Amino acid sequence: MTSRAVVPPTDKLDWTTIGFQYRDTNGFVKYTWTEETGWDEGKFLTDPMLNIHVCATGLHYGQQCFEGLKAFRDNDGRVRIFRPDVNAKRMQRSADMAHMPRVPVEIFEQAVRRTVEANLEFVPPKESGGSLYIRPVLFGSGPFIGMGAAPEFSFIVFGMPVGNYYSGGVVPVDALVIEDFDRTAPNGTGATKVGGNYASTFGPMLRAKKQGYPITLHLDSKTHTYIDEFSTSNFVALTHPDPVTKKRTFVTPNSSTILQSVTRLSLEDIAEKTLGWEVEERPVKFEELVQGRFAEVAAVGTAAILTPVRKIVRGDQVVCIGSGTQTEIGEGFARLYKEYRGIQSGDQDDTFGWMWPAEGL
């Protein structure tokens, strides 16, 4: 155990209504890279306004990428961050894609830790179900008008307290398949977290929302035959339980154009190693949904964790998962969700060693 006193949550915020939105905190960290010096020691800054060059490549050419992860409080008030090493490695793949210098895993972890340590009072109380959402961003901040890498890159990490996405319980939603827009091309940028993959989905997502679909599903861009992922989360499905063993198979697409979700990888481990279920990462045909092969479908990602999907609409076709009218999470995902959240909140033993640092902050 660390000997430092626990820093309790501030009493200036109403933890029951904080929702998911940007809020100022005490400050953030910023590291700078140049060809001559490499990555510097990083600085803690309190003014959220950045001063960057008018010709920064991050602004003009989308030379940037970002990450999203969370820190949680346990029963003793200690704070731990969920799997920052996995996000660090994913950010390196995004950096390669946008021709940027990699942030070493140790610098990424150090930056996240510094940000959390400086903002401990913004980590919500455990019982609220909230967390500190952490946003690392890497971008070309120096001037370059040609096609190429900037002379300077910035790596910033800030955080904001966010509430329990499911204060009223985990509620199944209806999803809409986006047919007139493809999120990413074959051999394109889909497996990385570059900003350009996101801005282009805002329009289709907002139009779907207006029609009553909180989430949108993308099929493979080339043939629209296979399932890729939801606009901001991975697609996962559970088969019907075996009548004798009650075990299920956890099925998820292995498409090369989707983001490797840390949530999904973690749920796979829980399914396989804790619950003893089979895990299949393979191409998943949309037709399999139509054939009723899956008992449960969900969208999974850091922000919302796990959103059960009860209906998927593709043009005139309506595909029900189960009855299509269920109002609660299914039995299979309920088990996975409980284990996963239990590890984050410290209610379950962290047998996978996911919470960092182990002694807490």
Ligand X SMILES: Cc1ncc(COP(=O)(O)O)c(C=O)c1O
Instruction: Pick from 128, 221, 232, 252 the residue near ligand X by CB under 6 A.
Output: 232
- Whole-number minimum distance, CB 136 to ligand X, in Å? 12
Between 20 and 39, CB nearer to ligand X: 20
How many residues belong to the chain? 361
Residues 50-69 close enough to bind ligand X by CB under 6 A: 68
Among 28-36, 148-156, 262-270, 325-333, which window interacts with ligand X (CB under 6 A)? 262-270
316 to 14, 41, 176, 322: CA distances (angstroms): 44, 56, 11, 19
Q: What is the DSSP string of 198-242?
A: HHHHHHHHHHHHHTT-SEEEEE-TTTS-BEEEETTEEEEEEEPPP
Q: Which residue has the tokens 């092969």?
A: 293
CA 79 – CA 87 distance, rounded (Å): 18
Distances (CA, A) of 17 to 159, 165, 197: 18, 10, 30
Q: Is 229 in the site for ligand X (CB under 6 A)?
A: yes
Among 162, 208, 262, 304, binds ligand X (CB under 6 A): 262
* Lookup: tokens for 75: 């029963």
- The label of the residue with tokens 């993308």 reads 218
Q: Which is nearer to ligand X, 232 or 239 (CB)?
A: 232
Using CB under 6 A as the binding rule, whether residue 234 contacts ligand X is answered as yes
Q: For ligand X, which stretch binds (CB under 6 A), given 41-49, 128-136, 259-267, 308-316? A: 259-267
CB of 303 to ligand X, least distance (A): 7
Residue 226's beta-bridge partner residues? 285
Residue 233 within binding range of ligand X, rule CB under 6 A: yes
**Interatomic CA distance for residues 109 and 179, integer angstroms:** 39
**Minimum CB separation from ligand X for residue 55, in Å?**
28
194 is a contact residue toward ligand X (CB under 6 A): no
Taking CB under 6 A as the criterion, which residues in 82-141 touch ligand X? none
Task: Return the amino acid letter for 70.
Answer: K
Question: What character string, x for contact with ligand X (CB under 6 A) and - otherwise, covers 288-327?
Answer: -------------xx-------------------------
Residue that has been written with the tokens 């998962």 in this structure:
321
Q: Which CB sits closer to ligand X, 56 or 312?
A: 312
Quote the CA–CA distance of 229 and 184 in Å, as a whole number: 11
Nearer to ligand X, 68 or 143 (CB): 68
261 binds ligand X (CB under 6 A): yes
> CA 90, 92, 96 angle in degrees (round to 5)?
120
Q: How many residues bind ligand X (CB under 6 A)?
A: 12
Q: Are strands 69-73 and 131-140 parallel, antiparallel or unpaired?
A: antiparallel
Q: Name which position in 205, 259, 271, 329 contacts ligand X (CB under 6 A).
A: 259
Residues that bind ligand X (CB under 6 A): 68, 229, 232-234, 259, 261-264, 301-302
